[in-house]
Amino acid sequence: MARSTESVLESLQSTRVPINGRQSLWSRLLDWLPSWKPTSETLLEQAEADVLKSVSSPHTDLYVPIHKEAVIRTFEVEPTQPIPGAYPLVMIHGFGAGFLQFYKNLDHLHSQRRLLALDVPGFGRSTRVSFSSDPAAVENEMVAHLETWRRVLGLEKFILLGHSLGAFLACSYCLRHPERVQHLILVDPWGISPPLSEEEMKKKFPFLAKRFWQMVGRLKPFDPVRMAGPWGSDVIQRTRPDLSRNFGDSFMNYVYHCNVQRPTGEEAFYHMQYMYGWAKRPMLPRLAQTLDPRVPLTLILGQRSWMKAVSDGRCVGEAISELRPQSYVAVHRVSGAGHHVHADQPGVFNDLVNKTCSLADSGGDVEPETVSGTETPEWDPARPTSHADLE
């Protein structure tokens, strides 16, 4: 007899495995020694709990198995005012953190629908599974893990939102499983634009800069934090004071403990990227050639973010709209926001996501001629957001 959804979810609440994987006896013995990096899985869990104090919605902690010894840590919230037929919203975070990157938004996006925010495998409190070193294989492995996660939870169709690297993974998933995605929301996506040409590289990166890259290019982004040992948290605070101001000290402590665990997700990203700024397998050509034209797409871009432009200087929204003329493409640029739109302007972001989700529920995102290639006006953060702003 098939198990009910309730019994499956109940079992997932306790299906936990060590995030760094099963350790050998020798590794467990070494754990008794003082660590150069003052962290542990317990400290990461506590750091997550400290940030979650800012989230008031009753939620369920799920540990969704993707194979025998690996789980995807998932945050689930049920709707408070459910609308019949409303599609669930699935949220995928960007590089360097976990689902709590959206902690300013989680209370505001579930009134009408089920909300599921996950830690990508290799990040946060999901299992630090190993990945290939080939960029195409890494993508395939990530998508396979996400599809297993979907299948275990029994999600038939949903709205898929991703930020930065998470937007790249959302695109990759949608390319392979378009029948599962009712609407694709990309928030300041990474990896869309092709890399610069050799001539452009010479102009943008002079000789010394390229030499510097050759020296440090083999370092993964958080290697300096791990090498700094007990001073690693200070390295994060000093190098990214903007994030500290925007997200707060508790979140930065969470980021520290996320990134001094076994860095398999970071290694996967290292193999997927070229000089951190570009993907080895850029998404823009594939969105035109491979993405099902029936999948509606919404972009939410930070007006101050460098990721809003492609390598030829066009806005990424304009480029995608031109390549998908028969598809729904809506582009929103938010003034006063940088790369972390959801944290820089959370009120505007939440309104945009809720409006897009309601549009997807009603089927109002299937007529390309009325919205494709258009951009909404930029918002002034000093001016209250009205309903008219979002039309």
Check residue 373 and report its DSSP letter: T
Share of the chain above pLDDT 90, in %: 57
The string of pLDDT tens digits covering residues 83-113 is: 999 999 999 999 999 999 999 999 999 999 9
Domain boundaries, the chain: 5-390
The string of pLDDT tens digits covering residues 338-354 is: 999 999 999 999 999 99
Q: Are strands 329-334 and 374-376 parallel, antiparallel or unpaired?
A: parallel
- Give the whole-angstrom CA distance, residue 389 versus residue 270: 39
Domain 5-390 superfamily per CATH: Alpha/Beta hydrolase fold, catalytic domain (3.40.50.1820)
Predicted confidence band of residue 370 (pLDDT cuts 50, 70, 90): very low
Q: Which residue has the higher pLDDT, 182 or 207?
A: 182
Q: Are 123 and 93 in contact (CB under 8 A)?
A: yes
3-state secondary structure of 90: strand
Instruction: Judge whether residue 1 has pLDDT over 90.
Output: no
- For residue 346, what are the CA distances in angstroms to 80, 120, 330, 340? 20, 22, 19, 9
CA-angle at 124, arms to 3 and 20, nearest 5°: 85
Share of the chain above pLDDT 70, in %: 77
The string of pLDDT tens digits covering residues 235-287 is: 888 888 888 888 999 999 999 999 998 899 999 999 999 876 789 999 998 98
- Give the whole-angstrom CA distance, residue 7 versus residue 22: 27
Structure tokens that stand for 154 in this block: 């029994």
Spell out the residues 6+ positions from residue 136 whose beta carbon is closer than 8 angstroms to its own: 281
Q: What is the pTM of this model?
A: 0.87
- Give the whole-angstrom CA distance, residue 201 versus residue 277: 12
- Give the whole-angstrom CA distance, residue 364 versus residue 354: 14
Report pLDDT for 388.
Answer: 28
- Give the whole-angstrom CA distance, residue 333 versus residue 75: 28
Predicted confidence band of residue 224 (pLDDT cuts 50, 70, 90): confident
